[in-house]
Amino acid sequence: MKIADARVIVTCPGRNFVTLKITTESGLTGVGDATLNGRELAVASYLTDHVCGLLIGRDASRINDIWQYLYKGAYWRRGPVTMSAIAAVDTALWDIKGKAAGMPVYQLLGGKARAGVMVYGHANGATVDDAVAEVGRYLDAGYKAVRVQCGVPGLEHVYGVSDDRDFYEPATAGVAPEEAVWASEKYLDFAPGLFAAVREAHGFGFHLLHDAHHRLTPIEAARLGKAAEPYRLFWLEDPISEELQEGFRTIRQHTTTPIAVGEVYNSIWDCQQLITEQLIDYIRTTVVHAGGITHLRRIFDLAALYHVRTGSHGATDLSPVCMAAALHLDISVPNFGIQEYMRHTPETDEVFPHSYRFEDGMLLPGDEPGLGVDIDEELAARYPYRQAYLPVNRLEDGTVHDW
Ligand code: EZ4
Ligand code: CO
C-alpha cells in the first residue's frame, strides 16, 4: 500500500475548494478536503510545497504514524493552515483504508451507532416575517432542526442573512473583504422577538438553533441566553469570541440555554478547558479544520467523557469531501448531537460526486467502500480559483469587530 502520488486540486465551482488526492501504487485513490475559507492557497502551498513529497513511498495504511509524523515532525504545531493540511492527508488515507478493506469508513470506526445523522438547515430572512416563512420551508422539506438568522433593524448588512434563499454563501468575490457595521445593542433588543415569532408560528415540535457569530461579550451573551430560555433553543452558537475559554463561565452562570462553539478551533487543546469544565454543550470542530477523522475522533471522545455532544460545522465552504467524512464519524460516535448542513450548488455537487443523501431530516453516508465521494478532475479544471473573502465587521465607531 505504498503511496505513489499526492496532488492538490484547487477549483471554484461557485466557491473555492482545495482537495488533496492520494494514489497508491496499487491504484487505490483517496480524497481529503483542505479548504480554508479565504486562505485557500496557503493550505494548497503547505501541501504541495511541504507535504506531498513526504508522502511518496510511505505506507498508506499507517494513518496514525503519518499523522504524528506530519504533526510533530513539522515542529510548528496546531493552527488552521497546518491542521487543515494534515486533515486532508488523514481523510484521504481513511478513504483509501476503507477501499482496501472493502468497507465504508463508518464500519472501520466501529459501525453505525444510529440510523442516520440529524442535520440542521439554514433559514434566514431580511425581516422577522421572511425568517419565519423560511423556517416553514425547511420544516416542509422534512428538517427536524432549523437555524434562524435575521436582519436587524438599523443595521444594513447582517452576516448570515442572504438574498439567495437556496444557496447561502457568506464569502464574496474580490481582492478585499466587504465591510459591514455591527451594533450588539440593536441585535440584543431584537433577537428574542425573532425566537418568539418563530415559536408562535411553528410551535415547539422541532429544534431551533441560532448563531451569534462570536460578536457578544460574556455578559451580553448571558443576557441573550436568558432571554431565549422560553423559546427552548437547541443551542446558541458562538456567543463570544472563541479565544476566551474562561468567558463561557459567565454565560453558564446565568442561563440554561445550551451553548455550542468550536468551528474555528483546530485542535483538542483549543477546547480542552471548555469540555473538561463542562462550559459548553456542543463542540463544533470539523474534520477539515481539526486534523481529520483521526484527531476529531479524539476531541469527540474527550467530549463524551464530559457529556458534551458533537455539532460539527458544515457550511458551504466545507466541501462534499469533508461532509462525507463527517457523516461516517457522526453516525458512529456515541455522543453525536447534530450536524450542520448547507446544501452545495449543483455545480459543486457535480465536481464532487457523492453517495450521501438527505432523507427525512437526516443525512445518510454511502455504503460503498471508503468515504463514497470523489472529485471529477476534468470538470474541476474548468473552474479556476477566484479570490473571495468573508466580510469584516466594524462597530459604529469604526473599531474592527468579530463578525
Ligand atoms: O462563518 O462557514 O455556522 N456556520 C457559520 C458559517 C461560517 C463560515 C466560515 O467559513 O458560522 O457561516
Ligand atoms: Co457558526
Q: How far is the CA of 84 from the centre of ligand 1 (A)?
A: 16
CA-closest residue to ligand 1 atom 10: 37
Task: Look at residue 169 in the predicted model and tell me its pLDDT.
Answer: 85
Amino acid at 269: W
The structure's pTM equals: 0.97
- Structure confidence at residue 157 as a pLDDT band (50, 70, 90): confident
Burial of 200 (0-12, 13-18, 19+ CB in 10 A): exposed
Query: How far apart are alpha carbons 396 and 13 in whole angstroms?
Result: 36
Task: Look at residue 288 in the predicted model and tell me its pLDDT.
Answer: 98
159 is catalytic: yes
Q: Is the minimum distance from the CB of 170 to ligand 1 under 6 angstroms?
A: yes
CA atoms within 13 A on the CB side of 45: 5
- Structure confidence at residue 403 as a pLDDT band (50, 70, 90): low
Amino acid at 281: D
Q: How far is the CA of 171 from the centre of ligand 1 (A)?
A: 9
Specify whether the CB–CB gap between 245 and 274 falls below 8 A: yes
Query: How far apart are alpha carbons 241 and 264 in whole angstroms?
Result: 10
295 is catalytic: no
Specify whether the CB–CB gap between 313 and 287 falls below 8 A: no
Terminal Cα distance for the chain, rounded: 45
Secondary structure class of 67 (helix, strand, coil): helix
Helices (H), ranges, 102-152: 105-108, 128-140
Task: Look at residue 163 in the predicted model and tell me its pLDDT.
Answer: 74
Phi, psi of 389 (to 5 degrees): -140, 155
Secondary structure class of 4 (helix, strand, coil): strand
